[in-house]
Chain A
């Protein structure tokens, strides 16, 4: 009886609603969304933390700043007083949210405040680049797959050319070139320090990885009876695409979203780590790891903290992607995964 109810329920609901219902019950989705929620909330509260809690400007060098630790006034950058007195070491984590919770970096800036601001940059660039990539991929995949012929040939060769370059090599090359003078397209000018540059670069380099599977799916869908029937009845192309093709491609696209966002975020961090992504004094998790590299022996937390954030965010996105895929995949539902 329960089985019959369940079957009835399934047949009375749209695939999207079924997937959503399954997703709501999925523990992986709950855990990953919780992690992502906390990280996003913390990152977007960066100005509040910086201004009202830590009372520090994370974009301004504070090489001569001092802080009070347990009643003792100490310089944020401490000159060595032992041995030959060589070197200056930034203060380590105080674990006091009001004062250098995770310590200071080489410029005497609050690492915690920069970590939160860095999260904003990384999440913003990763998400926007990922969505931009999906949007363009969808457009290219559908046009190429549905039109076929020379349109498909031209678009596919363009994708092949982009695909021929290793992702990071292409992203690094584009970044190095565009970071020097920015990018001007008609009346639009993107300055060298603009976030739009890494968004565009990352969005472009991943297009073939999404557009090609979509094109293949559209090619297959175009031969399916319901599409042929729609064409046979003289339906407009736009109607066929929006009513017949797109709804059938969307489950794949939805599965791609967390994966591509995660990859975009990692690429942004890598580019910023290499100093060709987010430009100083702005922060991203990649730039903070770069800052931390020079302090690995004395203040490992500077590099470790953003690394942990990247791992957590990427893992949560991938876990959520798995949950979405399983929720949208009838085969896995039938298997009872």
Chain B
């Protein structure tokens, strides 16, 4: 039991750190970040959301996009979830379909939940422990993108990963219908398991849900809303779930609109115009650069800017020339003008330059920069100040890689392309023959992961899945995250430092008992990783939400961005 308290306190510790770090408030005010009581007089109406494109499959166990994870909060439920509310409260893991946070035993390797009773899916069938077990098996059957990284610690997961179609987690997820209990057995204690159980890939679907990606087929929901129709070329319609009855105001509160209509195929600039004209309540895509000033002046009261725990960065392939040379990678880090790239993104109100791998105000983050004028990785400054082109040129010369061809692979949207063009200019100025290779945003993210494509350097982004340092350092730069010749190799640099990997494993174990010490260790790992410079971190973006004048009760989740179901249009 003592151990259980420790396990839970590590998660709560992370949340507490974020309370003070992200919003600069005390824990007392974090408590005040709870969701306000439901106000029935504002219920009704249709919330219209607009986006350029749909985000693919609607299957919550397969989809890995911010666009739909935002919607899953109001539709699907897991045993646990991230809390509704404001500020750092939204990083807190709370019980959802489970009655309470799990009890932990066996050194943190066994988690015991009790499933709530009386909850029904949107097709009227009750949620049972059999659905819970089937849902965990379904993670592997549908080859969920995080099956191998988040849930590979469940007993039996190794077999499921090898033979997904016949996945059985009889020892990993043990259920008892009589007591309504669910026991999850882990191979080893995991400090971030509660966060992993709170993300959409761990939601509970009916046991009858298809054993493959459901695509556009609608899977019954448990939340306040269900999906009525989905046409990726046209729209997604969400309506109230007739079988929903609020069981936890923090986990799955009643929503305000009667219907949520998501329209697709609308260009970003048309989205802005639609919101300005009250034809839509919210625009999904980033506001085009030439509309920012307009909305920031004429519609300032409708604009909300929030911090994100995310980063824009440049993975450099450490296994092929020229970036298999440390000096070449460090040269890029010194050469890039992070302030200039912030300008391309929209200015200092929307992003801040950084050098560290862990974003500011994130667990383990340390204010340091080894790649700014006058600093070195061994003697870092506290923040990035200016590029050092002279040093970058000398490093390129010393590396013997000057004159080599470098292809910069970027997504073909406007901002990414502009970033690519800027990088091309910088890399040319320090001695490379650089070219920009813009490719469709639909494939760029997977293309740059596959080592077969021999991508030398690219521009990409990472948004946290859950608030823990391991979600950045271990997931993005751990040896296990590099799979040669695979589209699913999130360690795009192909960087593998066994010594640092061992340190990361130690930090994860330490996090179970002493989160503060673990975060200190993560901070040190961050600096050691950046001394090797497998990536160049550029800036931390902020989330800009533009809502219509007729929309009220804007609430922002640090985990899933705006709560669409809490928007009031009446």
Q: Which residues of A contact B (CB under 8 A)?
A: 59-61, 63-64, 77, 79-80, 82-89, 106-107, 180, 192-193, 275, 279-281, 293-299
B347, A88: Cβ atoms closer than 8 Å = yes
Nearest-CB distance from A275 to chain B (Å)? Answer: 5
Query: In the assembly, what is the distance between CA of A64 and CA of B342, in Å?
Result: 11
Residues of B near A87 (CB, < 8 A) are: 289-293, 296, 346-347
Q: List 7 A-B contacts (CB under 8 A).
A: A80-B292, A86-B296, A86-B544, A88-B289, A88-B344, A88-B346, A89-B290
Query: In the assembly, what is the distance between CA of A231 and CA of B265, in Å?
Result: 64
Nearest-CB distance from A128 to chain B (Å)? Answer: 22
A63, B337: Cβ atoms closer than 8 Å = yes
Nearest-CB distance from A72 to chain B (Å)? Answer: 20
Residues of B near A83 (CB, < 8 A) are: 293, 296-298, 300
Residues of A near B289 (CB, < 8 A) are: 87-88, 106, 294-295
Question: Do A61 and B426 form a contact, CB below 8 Å, given A83-B297, A86-B349, A88-B289?
Answer: yes
Question: Do A63 and B435 form a contact, CB below 8 Å, given A80-B292, A84-B305, A88-B289?
Answer: no
Query: In the assembly, what is the distance between CA of A221 and CA of B426, in Å?
Result: 60
A107, B418: Cβ atoms closer than 8 Å = yes
B421, A61: Cβ atoms closer than 8 Å = yes
Residues of B near A298 (CB, < 8 A) are: 290, 293
State which residues 70-88 of B face A: CB under 8 Å.
Answer: none
Query: In the assembly, what is the distance between CA of A97 and CA of B349, in Å?
Result: 33
Residues of B near A294 (CB, < 8 A) are: 288-290, 414, 418
Nearest-CB distance from A98 to chain B (Å)? Answer: 23
Residues of B near A59 (CB, < 8 A) are: 425
B343, A77: Cβ atoms closer than 8 Å = yes
The total number of A-B Cβ pairs within 8 Å is 114
- Pick from A63, A180, A280: contact of B436, CB below 8 A: A280
Q: Interface of chain B, helix or strand or loop or mixed?
A: helix
Nearest-CB distance from B240 to chain A (Å)? Answer: 35
B412 at the interface (CB under 8 A from A): yes
Residues of B near A80 (CB, < 8 A) are: 292-293, 296-297, 347
Nearest-CB distance from B431 to chain A (Å)? Answer: 14
Residues of A near B347 (CB, < 8 A) are: 79-80, 85-88
Residues of B near A63 (CB, < 8 A) are: 337, 340, 343-344, 422
Residues of A near B420 (CB, < 8 A) are: 280
B403-440 to A contact mask, C-beta < 8 Å, 1/0? 00000000010100110111011101100000111100
Which 3 A/B pairs are nearest by Cβ-Cβ distance?
A: A87-B292, A86-B296, A83-B297
Nearest-CB distance from B440 to chain A (Å)? Answer: 9
B344, A281: Cβ atoms closer than 8 Å = no
Q: Which of B290, B428, B436, B437 has the most CB of A within 10 A?
A: B290
B339 at the interface (CB under 8 A from A): yes
Residues of B near A64 (CB, < 8 A) are: 337, 339-340
Nearest-CB distance from B456 to chain A (Å)? Answer: 14
Residues of B near A85 (CB, < 8 A) are: 296, 347-349
Residues of B near A106 (CB, < 8 A) are: 289, 344, 418
B422, A297: Cβ atoms closer than 8 Å = no
Assuming A61-B421, A61-B425, what are 19 further A-B pairs, CB within 8 angstroms? A61-B426, A64-B337, A80-B297, A82-B296, A82-B297, A83-B296, A84-B303, A84-B349, A86-B296, A86-B346, A87-B293, A88-B344, A192-B435, A275-B412, A280-B421, A280-B436, A294-B288, A297-B269, A297-B288
Query: In the assembly, what is the distance between CA of A61 and CA of B339, in Å?
Result: 13
Q: Which of A83, A84, A297 has the most CB of B within 10 A?
A: A84
Query: In the assembly, what is the distance between CA of A64 and CA of B386, in Å?
Result: 11
B555 at the interface (CB under 8 A from A): no
Query: In the assembly, what is the distance between CA of A77 and CA of B292, in Å?
Result: 14
Residues of B near A84 (CB, < 8 A) are: 296-297, 300, 303, 305, 349
Query: In the assembly, what is the distance between CA of A180 and CA of B407, in Å?
Result: 11
Residue of B nearest to A80 (CB): B293
B294 at the interface (CB under 8 A from A): yes
- Pick from A86, A192, A293: contact of B350, CB below 8 A: A86
Residue of B nearest to A293 (CB): B414
Residue of A nearest to B297 (CB): A83
Residue of B nearest to A300 (CB): B290
Residue of B nearest to A79 (CB): B347
Query: In the assembly, what is the distance between CA of A14 and CA of B358, in Å?
Result: 80
Residues of B near A299 (CB, < 8 A) are: 290
Query: In the assembly, what is the distance between CA of A85 and CA of B305, in Å?
Result: 12
Residue of A nearest to B544 (CB): A86
Query: In the assembly, what is the distance between CA of A89 and CA of B296, in Å?
Result: 13
B295 at the interface (CB under 8 A from A): yes
Residues of A near B297 (CB, < 8 A) are: 80, 82-84
Residues of B near A77 (CB, < 8 A) are: 343
State which residues 330-354 of B face A: CB under 8 Å.
Answer: 337, 339-340, 343-344, 346-350
Query: In the assembly, what is the distance between CA of A293 and CA of B337, in Å?
Result: 25
Residue of B nearest to A60 (CB): B425
A61, B422: Cβ atoms closer than 8 Å = yes
Residue of A nearest to B453 (CB): A180
Nearest-CB distance from A193 to chain B (Å)? Answer: 5
- Pick from A86, A281, A297: contact of B424, CB below 8 A: A281
Residues of A near B438 (CB, < 8 A) are: 275
Query: In the assembly, what is the distance between CA of A261 and CA of B292, in Å?
Result: 40
B296, A280: Cβ atoms closer than 8 Å = no
A296, B290: Cβ atoms closer than 8 Å = yes
Residues of B near A275 (CB, < 8 A) are: 412, 417, 438
Query: In the assembly, what is the distance between CA of A17 and CA of B348, in Å?
Result: 67
Nearest-CB distance from A294 to chain B (Å)? Answer: 5
Residue of A nearest to B272 (CB): A297
Residues of A near B291 (CB, < 8 A) are: 87, 297
Nearest-CB distance from B570 to chain A (Å)? Answer: 27
Query: In the assembly, what is the distance between CA of A83 and CA of B421, in Å?
Result: 30
Nearest-CB distance from B300 to chain A (Å)? Answer: 5
Residues of A near B300 (CB, < 8 A) are: 83-84
Question: Do A279 and B435 form a contact, CB below 8 Å, given A83-B297, A87-B292?
Answer: yes
Residue of A nearest to B420 (CB): A280
Query: In the assembly, what is the distance between CA of A279 and CA of B544, in Å?
Result: 31
Residue of B nearest to A274 (CB): B412
State which residues 434-455 of B face A: CB under 8 Å.
Answer: 435-438
Query: In the assembly, what is the distance between CA of A84 and CA of B349, in Å?
Result: 8
B340, A86: Cβ atoms closer than 8 Å = no
Residue of A nearest to B435 (CB): A193
B292, A86: Cβ atoms closer than 8 Å = yes
- Pick from A79, A88, A192, A281: contact of B425, CB below 8 A: A281
Nearest-CB distance from B286 to chain A (Å)? Answer: 11
Residues of A near B294 (CB, < 8 A) are: 297
Residues of B near A107 (CB, < 8 A) are: 418, 421-422, 425
Nearest-CB distance from B427 to chain A (Å)? Answer: 11
Query: In the assembly, what is the distance between CA of A329 and CA of B521, in Å?
Result: 85
Query: In the assembly, what is the distance between CA of A294 and CA of B544, in Å?
Result: 18
Nearest-CB distance from A73 to chain B (Å)? Answer: 17
Query: In the assembly, what is the distance between CA of A88 and CA of B349, in Å?
Result: 10
Nearest-CB distance from B567 to chain A (Å)? Answer: 21
Query: In the assembly, what is the distance between CA of A293 and CA of B292, in Å?
Result: 15
Nearest-CB distance from B415 to chain A (Å)? Answer: 9
Residues of A near B305 (CB, < 8 A) are: 84, 86
Query: In the assembly, what is the distance between CA of A62 and CA of B435, in Å?
Result: 18
Query: In the assembly, what is the distance between CA of A60 and CA of B340, in Å?
Result: 13
State which residues 290-321 of B face A: CB under 8 Å.
Answer: 290-298, 300, 303, 305
Residues of B near A193 (CB, < 8 A) are: 435
Q: Which of A60, A77, A85, A279 has the most CB of B within 10 A?
A: A85
Residues of A near B429 (CB, < 8 A) are: 60
Nearest-CB distance from A183 to chain B (Å)? Answer: 16
Residues of B near A192 (CB, < 8 A) are: 435, 437
Residues of A near B348 (CB, < 8 A) are: 79, 85
Query: In the assembly, what is the distance between CA of A142 and CA of B269, in Å?
Result: 52
Nearest-CB distance from A282 to chain B (Å)? Answer: 10
